[in-house]
Structure 1
């Protein structure tokens, strides 16, 4: 048995080496296509700028986000709020706080929530989908029963609109930034679970799986060493798309008042909520954070869609 499995591994390595001599791997070819795709370049630039701004926000912000330095110059009664000027490139808000500083610091919150929520959703979803796919491949009838139970619960979660599910979870856990991360992460779990399970099922009918089975390789080794690694491509693409969804849903929860309220750590969704009563006199209060949310989500979406097209064999040119 050991000799057979070692021979399979050597054959796989030899095949990969020969493939590299005449061409390149899937990810390398996908990267080449991405470099020629204007949509991918635009998305990558937006994402890179967003990440750099979030990392350097404290350095770039000219003032503290909670400093009410210009409160004496504002008037909510007459809707008087200083606009763009030399000291405040985007003006000040109703409490005399610098808008640019609050937007820059808010990018940190959006990036943090998006990344943590997506990691939570990916981890739990990959575990659920991996267990379901492995049960189908390893345990026959009993495995199919386990898969049926897990996927029915997963289908019920998918049937609930993601924002409604996030609001329900956030309401149960209470108001905080951690609550927003968990709530948004929960909405991502069924998506990753269903995607990984489907990808594993597709891989289970591949020629290399049938060859390994014919040579007597243990099913557990086939699933863990071959099927699972080869099934992660579509899931990794979904991670990029889920980041955009996570940022939007996190902003939605904060807009509804379910996120953490901290003046020293502003969040774009909460800034939108604060702007509602001043729309008639200072529309820019809503335009700035809304534009930041839209552009950031667009960047992740463009990059994710381009990556999906680059990895799809039906769309290769």
Structure 2
């Protein structure tokens, strides 16, 4: 847990540096470095391709992803499967459904789960982080006590392995796609909360905050109008990294049977779980979704790490 919190706190410290030595804004300099980073370009290209496929996939799919059109061509009990052929570019699954069409539709489901769960974690985590950060920065002794209590609870959540926490939440809520989104979102809450709170503390001692207080500006306006907007830089970076984690954890929950109860709906984690029973006879059915999950998560990770390095002067060399 200490390593995880150290990384979060280090990322939060970046907001204290609002200006570079050249006088340009931190984000302008970071964007310049991102354009020159091969890692960032590769990650952005992977993400762009994934989003495009997820959005237009159902319209370019050559066949219905749920129709068992070629059911008679496969005999899973006898290990008879159909590989790539003219009408089915990636072959057929164990129920005679077009694997290529299911992969395209699965991209949309994966994107939906990743974005919704990350948005949920961000919304709740940001609310908790703002409350704790504002209390500690401008709330006096009582505020610091409130911040201490909240952060001890957040640290307890961070101490639990993320996948174990997600499985626990999903097991309590029951099997559904909504459950997966909530479970993965809950895992993201303490990360965003601690990160935004740390960013606000880094901004709390800034000259503009001291000047605003001296001028008698209301505390709520200082927090919402000045401190929070200036504390979002590392949170945006973390959101990119969290999308990669969300995709992997959502696939893991679906693989464990905690996802959508309708197995006919294509989702890469479900497809991977279904292919496990036929791995010896048709390993490609597991390879396709596994590779898709790995490449997509890699894209978000590469871009997120490149953004973090572009913002962190210690990593810029």
Tell me the TM-score normalised to structure 2 length. 0.90
TM-superposed CA distance for 1:156, in Å, is 1.1
Structure 1 counterpart of 2:250: 250
Secondary structure at 1:77's aligned position in 2?
Answer: helix
TM-superposed CA distance for 1:268, in Å, is 0.5
The whole-number CA distance in structure 1 between the counterparts of 2:23 and 2:228 is 24
Task: Point out the structure with max Rg over C-alpha.
Answer: 1
Greater displacement, 200-209 / 59-68: 200-209
TM-superposed CA distance for 1:309, in Å, is 1.3
Cα RMSD (Å) of the superposition?
1.9
Alignment of structure 1 residues 118-267 onto 2, 5 Å = 118-267=118-267
Greater displacement, 152-161 / 263-272: 263-272
Structure 1 counterpart of 2:115: 115
Secondary structure at 2:78's aligned position in 1?
Answer: coil
Alignment of structure 1 residues 16-95 onto 2, 5 Å = 24-95=24-95
Q: 1:237 to 1:314 in 2, by over 3 A?
A: same
Runs of 5+ consecutive residues of structure 1 not aligned to the other structure: 1-15
The answer (yes or no) to whether the contact 1:180–1:250 under 8 Å persists in 2 is yes
Structure 2 counterpart of 1:9: none
Structure 2 counterpart of 1:302: 302
The answer (yes or no) to whether the contact 1:54–1:108 under 8 Å persists in 2 is yes
The whole-number CA distance in structure 2 between the counterparts of 1:266 and 1:83 is 19
Runs in 1 of length 4+ with deviation above 6 angstroms? Answer: none
Alignment of structure 1 residues 279-290 onto 2, 5 Å = 279-290=279-290
The whole-number CA distance in structure 2 between the counterparts of 1:194 and 1:289 is 33
Structure 2 counterpart of 1:13: none
The whole-number CA distance in structure 2 between the counterparts of 1:306 and 1:228 is 23
Q: 1:257 to 1:99 in 2, by over 3 A?
A: same
The whole-number CA distance in structure 2 between the counterparts of 1:183 and 1:29 is 36
Structure 1 counterpart of 2:98: 98
Secondary structure at 1:42's aligned position in 2?
Answer: helix
Greater displacement, 39-48 / 172-181: 172-181
The answer (yes or no) to whether the contact 1:130–1:196 under 8 Å persists in 2 is yes
TM-superposed CA distance for 1:23, in Å, is 5.6
TM-superposed CA distance for 1:221, in Å, is 3.1
The whole-number CA distance in structure 1 between the counterparts of 2:264 and 2:286 is 19
Answering whether residue 270 of structure 2 is matched by residue 270 of structure 1, we say: yes
The whole-number CA distance in structure 2 between the counterparts of 1:23 and 1:156 is 41
The whole-number CA distance in structure 2 between the counterparts of 1:273 and 1:176 is 16
TM-superposed CA distance for 1:208, in Å, is 2.9
The answer (yes or no) to whether the contact 1:64–1:264 under 8 Å persists in 2 is no
**Deviation sequence 1:262-282 (CA, Å, 0-9, x none):** 355211001111011111111
- Which is bigger in relative contact order (C-alpha 8 A, separation at least 6)? 2
Tell me the TM-score normalised to structure 1 length. 0.90
The answer (yes or no) to whether the contact 2:263–2:270 under 8 Å persists in 1 is no
Secondary structure at 2:77's aligned position in 1?
Answer: coil
Runs of 5+ consecutive residues of structure 2 not aligned to the other structure: 1-17
Aligned residues: 299
Secondary structure at 1:56's aligned position in 2?
Answer: helix
The whole-number CA distance in structure 1 between the counterparts of 2:163 and 2:72 is 39
TM-superposed CA distance for 1:148, in Å, is 1.1
